[in-house]
Amino acid sequence: MRTQICIIGAGPAGLLLSRLLSLNGIDCVVLERRTPEYVLGRIRAGVLERITVDLMRRAQCAVRLDREALVHDGFEIAHDGKRLRIDLKGLSGHDVTIYGQTEITRDLMDAQAGARIVYEAQDVSLNDFAGDVPRVRYTKDGAGHEIACDYIVGCDGAHGVSRASIPHDALTTFERIYPFGWMGVLTDTPPVAHEIVYANHARGFALCSMRSQTRSRYYVQCALTETVDDWSDSRFWDELRRRLPAALADSLVIGPPIEKSIAALRSFVVEPMRYGSLFLAGDAAHIVPPTGAKGLNLAASDVHYLSNALIEHYRHGDDHALETYSETALARVWKAVRFSWWLTNLLHRTDDERFTRRVQQAELDYLAGSRNAQAALAENYVGLPLT
């Protein structure tokens, strides 16, 4: 088989890239080791920056998003009995959109029915990508296949084959492991508030988010040693109530979870995001804690830069954007990493309690009293401009 671009991974990044390239006449094949049902079953982010929404519209996949998504002009930070609203629209001129990653993936799948997307592709190997004639081999239903291509794009996440195929000494890795996790529950109940609420409480962080007017997503900070089995439904709801302001706790509607999981938090970046004819995008190159809602949006900005670069290459023979892809993408990645690290440190409890708590209180007091500080928070939260 011959194609121009072979994309590894059929998550939202891989599917969005495939869609944008296909609309511009660039031939693609997408390989995914899981089934479509498994991909759709992954519960992930739900807060979209305007760039991600714009890309979905550019991909002609935003009809349902524009009809069903929630638009939020702000969010709240609760701490020490106070509630501070960050007016995103008033401070930055922009809002954010609430629409689940699962729904984005579904929309992209539906738009590409009939496209060359190979699910349950096993034993994927990337070959000869240090040179100009890369090849990807895989097996499907027991038969071996080979794809010759111009470029390979790794959108297969932190544990995929793409980054692992690059020689270890060709990459520089940066990582920060946070000493806590998030216990999360997804439930078909109305959200406790009409906007997202972050809580800094003596018992630990909590987050009240949503996917729609009838589906809520809640999190509480937990120990890394804990498992989902340690968290009965009653323990979770009781703990969430304790960490919320009284008015919110009293109005919380509980219901049976449709998904429960614990997520460890880390910051991770690998440089560069290109090796030969292989490009990395999304979680294959960087991971941020979910506090700042940047993971999916960073993957979308990678897709923006890389799709434009490949279109310029094939349409005009201009390789400047391809040659500078890694540098351009990483400049935005590191700003989002910084923001996610800052917000995580601001809102969570750590073992260094006395000093950290005083710093958090000072930071939150400063934030409450400074419009400029709130504007900086809002500017980062809604998403920094693309370069």
* Dist CA 109 CA 326 (whole Å): 27
Q: Which domain holds residue 309?
A: 5-71+98-174+266-348
Domain assignment present for residue 248? The answer is no
Q: SS3 breakdown of the chain: % helix, strand, coil, rounded to 5? A: 40, 30, 30
Domain assignment present for residue 123? The answer is yes
* Dist CA 318 CA 331 (whole Å): 21
- The domain total for the chain is 1
Domain assignment present for residue 228? The answer is no
Domain assignment present for residue 133? The answer is yes
93 contacts: CB under 8 Å, gap ≥ 6: none
Domain assignment present for residue 113? The answer is yes
Secondary structure (3-state) at 129: coil
Could you tell me where the DSSP H helices lie in the chain?
12-23, 36-41, 50-58, 63-68, 88-92, 101-111, 161-165, 233-243, 246-251, 295-316, 320-323, 325-347, 353-369, 371-382
Secondary structure (3-state) at 179: strand
Domain assignment present for residue 241? The answer is no
Amino acid symbol at 48: L
Which contacts (CB < 8 Å, 24+ apart) does range 247-253 have? Answer: 248/78, 248/192, 248/193, 248/197, 248/208, 251/192, 252/192, 253/189, 253/190, 253/192, 253/216
Strands 197-200 and 172-187, sheet pairing: unpaired
Q: What is the pLDDT along the chain (387 residues), one digit of tens a residue?
A: 999 999 999 999 999 999 999 999 999 999 999 999 999 988 777 899 999 999 999 999 999 999 999 999 999 999 988 999 999 999 999 999 999 999 999 999 999 877 899 999 999 999 999 988 899 999 999 999 999 999 999 999 999 999 999 999 999 999 999 999 999 999 999 999 999 999 999 999 999 999 999 999 999 999 999 999 999 999 999 999 999 999 999 999 999 999 999 999 999 999 999 999 999 999 999 999 999 999 999 999 999 999 999 999 999 999 999 999 999 999 999 999 999 999 999 999 987 778 888 999 999 999 999 999 999 999 999 999 998
Domain assignment present for residue 244? The answer is no
Positions marked active-site: 72, 198, 290, 294, 381
Instruction: Give the CATH number of the domain where residue 300 resides.
Output: 3.50.50.60
Place of tokens 């009781």: 238
Domain assignment present for residue 192? The answer is no
